[in-house]
């Protein structure tokens, strides 16, 4: 997990410097220590965990705190081989795009007349200030939601709270009930929230037409910020 002990009291993660400074105390909580122990036990038991260790904090490493403009919140990583690389909804090049991601691309096609990409790596968005954050950062292979209630939720809730407290004008994109339950952590007096159904095939008919990509860019431009290039 690229977490190692500096001494008997501190856990030091391999995470981008600005995030490390902000989240340092979160890594020292009992909850996070228990999470680290759980992951170690899972690995010792021979279980396969996704994403690979170097990519667990990929969302943070791809989008430094001072560059943050947008948050797209997912639930937990893809659980198929080769799919998860630490960015919500994204898959590495060479991996078939999952149905939810395909529906995201269809909405982009509708809003901006963009072609459906041949690959599903949306890390280009992350490099422009879009934090692609899952609420749970690891999962056991072929076992969706297997790492729920192991400590990740407390950690990522704290991440959202820090963003809300320390930033202003962030666009939070919340697709589906699970993401929308996090709204309580966000100060809506100084941030923007866009909500719709989840892009999964089960609710896509209610997701299509949300116009969240256009709305996000309009909000950014109103603040004097550069819009996101949503093309892939």
Query: For residue 174, what are the β-bridge partners?
Result: 73, 195
Distance CA 26, CA 227 (A): 31
* Beta carbons of 207 and 110 less than 8 angstroms apart: no
Q: Residue 121 catalytic?
A: no
Instruction: Name which of 120, 145, 118 is nearest 134 in CA terms.
Output: 145
Distance CA 161, CA 115 (A): 36
Helix locations, the chain, DSSP H: 17-27, 30-44, 58-62, 99-112, 123-126, 152-166, 177-180, 204-207, 212-222
- Kindly name the residue from 76, 165, 181, 229 that is annotated as catalytic: 76
Distance CA 204, CA 215 (A): 19
| Residues designated catalytic | 76
């Amino acid at each position: 997990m690229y977490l190692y002990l500096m001494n008997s009291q501190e856990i030091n993660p391999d995470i981008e410097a600005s995030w490390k400074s902000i989240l340092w105390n979160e890594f020292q909580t009992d909850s996070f220590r228990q999470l680290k122990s759980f992951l170690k036990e899972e690995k010792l038991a021979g279980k396969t965990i996704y994403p690979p260790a170097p990519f667990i904090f990929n969302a943070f490493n791809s989008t430094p705190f001072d560059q943050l403009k947008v948050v797209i919140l997912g639930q937990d990583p893809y659980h198929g081989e080769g799919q998860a690389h630490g960015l919500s909804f994204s898959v590495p090049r060479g991996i078939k795009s999952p149905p939810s991601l395909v529906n995201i691309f269809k909405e982009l096609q509708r809003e901006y007349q963009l072609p459906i990409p041949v690959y599903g790596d949306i890390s280009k968005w992350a490099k422009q200030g879009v934090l692609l954050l899952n609420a749970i950062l690891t999962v056991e292979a072929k076992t969706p939601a297997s790492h729920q209630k192991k400590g990740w939720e407390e950690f990522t809730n704290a991440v959202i709270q820090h963003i809300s407290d320390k930033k202003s004008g962030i666009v939070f994109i919340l697709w589906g009930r699970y993401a929308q339950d996090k709204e309580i952590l966000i100060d809506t007096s100084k941030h923007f929230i866009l909500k719709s159904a989840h892009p999964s095939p089960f609710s896509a008919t209610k997701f299509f037409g949300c116009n969240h990509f256009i709305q996000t860019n309009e909000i950014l431009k109103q603040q004097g910020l550069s819009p996101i290039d949503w093309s892939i």
